[in-house]
Amino acid sequence: MLALSVLLLLAGYVSPWDYHFSFSDDSHVGVCAWGLDSRLVFFNDAEYGPYRGGIIGLADADGNIYPPLECEDSFGDAWGIYYRRFQWSDATLWTLMVTLWYPVALFAIIPFVNVLRSAVRLRSPNLAEP
């Protein structure tokens, strides 16, 4: 929980374009501020960084897009999840952002369940004692 609190604080001061952790050449993670929200950012291109909107191709006078896009997938920005994936013949660019409030809520449930179980044990009489 402390680590998540630090991430929430740092998200306003660090940029995943400048500071990120790399799992491999095409898998990176960082934190960023997204409006009033802090997000955990997963992306594949460290040189480009996470995609947050912008030009990914140019159109000629006939409407042909260069480089030609083979596939485009997207979801969000809804419920704290943002996903974009672009596929060209020679490259892929993807970004997944998840609000840090999901892990905070998840890790808050565990202590709440333990407190609730302790309270139930205290209220119920011990049937083993005579």
- State residue 125's pLDDT score: 66
* Any domain includes 129: no
> In the numeric block, which tokens belong to residue 65?
């897009």
Q: Mean of the per-residue pLDDT values for the chain?
A: 82
Summarised one tens digit per residue, pLDDT across range 16-74 is 767 788 899 999 998 887 767 788 899 999 888 888 888 888 888 998 888 888 888 88
Contacts of 57 (CB under 8 A, 6+ apart): 65, 66, 67, 68, 69
Does 130 map to a domain? no
Domain count, the chain: 1
The band of 105, judged by pLDDT with boundaries at 50, 70 and 90, is: confident
Residue 38 lies in a domain: yes
Pairing mode of beta strands 81-88, 92-99: antiparallel
The pTM assigned to this predicted structure is: 0.70
Domain with 36 in it: 2-123
Q: Within a domain: residue 117? A: yes
Q: Is position 7 within any domain?
A: yes
Q: Examine residue 128 and state whether it is found in any structural domain, yes or no.
A: no
* 16 close to 50: Cβ distance less than 8 angstroms: yes
Q: Give domain status of residue 32, yes or no.
A: yes
- In a domain? residue 11: yes
Contact present, 20 and 46 (Cβ < 8 Å): yes
Q: What's the rounded Cα separation, in Å, for the pair 31 and 26?
A: 17
| Mean pLDDT score, 98-120 | 86
Q: What is the pLDDT of residue 8?
A: 62
